[in-house]
């Protein structure tokens, strides 16, 4: 239905204008990480890689090495993602397809938790972690992050289960298979796309998480890239946008890679309604 070319050009112009700030930020994010601008200016003077020095040396002798921090972040994000997925596929199936007492109650609870002021609970969460002996450990933050992501994960997976035709299940049950076997052999393959989308989504959510590790795991052993980067920025004796941006670039690379690979699936899951 693209009839008027002129109209399209106007549209593109308008869109470009309003997108300009974002594009400028992305562009300079890239440029500034590998160059040095003139003092007080924005035009790059020299191309150089010194901003990336954090990769091969400690920028401050007290900071953990970037590789350690990256490993932590990776472990944190993937463990969170796996937990969310593992718990969501079963719980969502139960809520979507199985009939059991108090199902309505659980569903209503799920919807309520879905939009809950999670972060304001942090002191109380601390007490629980402390009680379990998991304060200041990566495992503790992983569990908390996974638990807080669960309502969303279950909600999304329930959506995917809901769209699986009932006929598949009926056929299985009529063939005499147990509900468990039906789930494992017939239904699970149907929701695979949803599962991988949720996996990617939870991974990204874990990768970006800032406040939970900041408060619940302040020790050096559990630093993640978000807290590392923020600490570098907060250290007011050496603010250096080139360095910040290089670290930011390093931090964002996996995100961009994931985006390029799984664009479609991501758009799908974000369309499913998420925290805004």
Partner 1 sequence: MNRQTLLGLGFLSPALLAVVMFFLLPVVLTVVFAFTNMSTSTGILGGEYQISESDLRRLPAAGVREEAVEMLAGADYAVRADTLALFAAEFGDKRAQELEALHGGASFDDRRAMERALKDLRRDPIRSVRERKAAAELFRISILGQRFPTEAAFVEAITALGIPEADQAALTEAAYTGWTFTTQNFELLWELPATWRYALNSALYVVLTLAFNVGFGLFLALSTFYLPTRTAQTFRAIWFLPRILPPVLYVLMWQWLTWDQGFISAILRPFGIEPINWMRHTATHAWTFIVLINGCVGASLGMILFSSSLRAIPETQLFAAQVDGANRWQQVRFVLLPQMRWPILFITSYQTLSLLTSFEYILLATDGGPGRQTEVWALAAYHTALSNYGGNLEYGLGAAYALALVIIGILLSALYLRFFNFRDLVAKPRIEQ
Partner 2 sequence: MKQMTCALALVSAMAATPALAEDITITVWAGGSNDSDHYRIDNIKIAANLLSREAAIRGEELNITVEGKRDFDGWDGFKQAVTLGAEAGNAPNIVVTSHLDIAPWASAGYIVPVEDYVDLDAWPLNNVYSNLMEIAAFDGMQWGVPQDAESRPFFFWKEAMKKLGYTDDDMDAMAARVEAGEYTLRDMLADAKKAVDMGLVEEGYGFYPRVSNGPDYAQFYQSFGGELMDPETGKLVFDRTAMTEMYQFFVDAVEAGVTRKNHIGTEWDQWYSEVASGKAAFWHGGTWHYGRYTGKEGNDDFFGTIGFTLIPAGNEAGRANTITHPLVYLVTDQEDDRAEEIAAQLVAIASEPRLNTLHAIESSHLAIGKAEAALDLYAGDRWASEATEVLLPHANAQPNHPSYGAFSEAMFKGLEAAWTGVQTPEEAVAEVEAQLTATLGDELIIR
Q: Which residues are at the interface with partner 2 (CB under 8 A)?
A: 60-64, 126, 130, 135-136, 214-215, 218-220, 223, 227, 230-231, 234-240
CA distance 141 to 266: 24
By CB under 8 A, which span of 44-52, 60-68, 165-173, 186-194 interacts with partner 1? Answer: 165-173
Q: Within positions 49 to 78, which residues make up the interface with partner 1, using CB under 8 A?
A: none
Comparison of 87 and 241: residue with beta carbon closer to partner 2: 241
Q: Within positions 168 to 197, which residues make up the interface with partner 1, using CB under 8 A?
A: 169-170, 173, 178-180
H or E element: which one contains 236?
Answer: none
147 binds partner 1 (CB under 8 A): yes
Which of partner 2, partner 1, none has residue 106 at its interface (CB below 5 to 8 Å by kind)?
Answer: partner 1
Q: Compute the least distance from the CB of residue 232 to partner 2, in Å.
A: 9
Q: Are 110 and 155 in contact (CB under 8 A)?
A: yes
Which of partner 2, partner 1, none has residue 176 at its interface (CB below 5 to 8 Å by kind)?
Answer: none
Comparison of 68 and 128: residue with beta carbon closer to partner 1: 128
**End-to-end Cα separation, the chain, in angstroms:** 32
- 176: number of Cβ within 10 Å: 7
With a CB cutoff of 8 Å and minimum separation 6, the contacts of 54 are 66, 243, 246, 247, 250
- 233: number of Cβ within 10 Å: 15
Among 48, 49, 65, 121, which residue sits at the site for partner 1 (rule: CB under 8 A)?
A: 121
With a CB cutoff of 8 Å and minimum separation 6, the contacts of 165 are none
């Amino acid at each position: 239905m693209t009839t008027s070319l002129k109209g399209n050009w106007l549209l593109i112009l308008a869109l470009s204008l309003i997108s300009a700030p974002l594009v400028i930020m992305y562009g300079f994010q890239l440029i500034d990480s590998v160059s040095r601008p003139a003092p007080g200016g924005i035009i790059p003077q020299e191309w150089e890689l010194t901003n990336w020095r954090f990769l091969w040396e400690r920028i401050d002798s007290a900071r953990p090495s970037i590789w350690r921090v990256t490993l932590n972040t990776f472990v944190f994000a993937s463990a969170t993602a796996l937990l969310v997925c593992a718990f969501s596929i079963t719980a969502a199936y139960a809520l979507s397809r199985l009939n059991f007492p108090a199902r309505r109650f659980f569903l209503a609870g799920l919807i309520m938790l879905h939009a809950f002021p999670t972060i304001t609970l942090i002191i109380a969460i601390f007490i629980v972690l402390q009680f379990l002996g998991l304060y200041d450990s990566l495992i503790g933050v992983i569990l908390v992050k996974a638990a807080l992501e669960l309502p969303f994960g279950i909600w999304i997976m329930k959506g995917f289960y809901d769209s699986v035709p009932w006929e598949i299940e009926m056929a299985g049950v009529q063939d005499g298979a147990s509900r468990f076997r039906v789930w494992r052999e017939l239904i699970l393959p149907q929701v695979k796309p949803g599962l991988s989308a949720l996996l990617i989504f939870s991974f990204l959510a874990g990768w970006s998480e800032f406040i939970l590790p900041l408060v619940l795991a302040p020790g050096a052993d559990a630093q993640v890239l978000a807290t590392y980067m923020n600490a570098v920025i907060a250290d007011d004796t050496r603010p250096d946008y080139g360095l910040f941006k290089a670290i930011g670039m390093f931090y964002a690379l996996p995100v961009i890679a994931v985006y390029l690979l799984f664009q479609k699936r991501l758009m799908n899951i974000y369309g499913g309604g998420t925290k805004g």
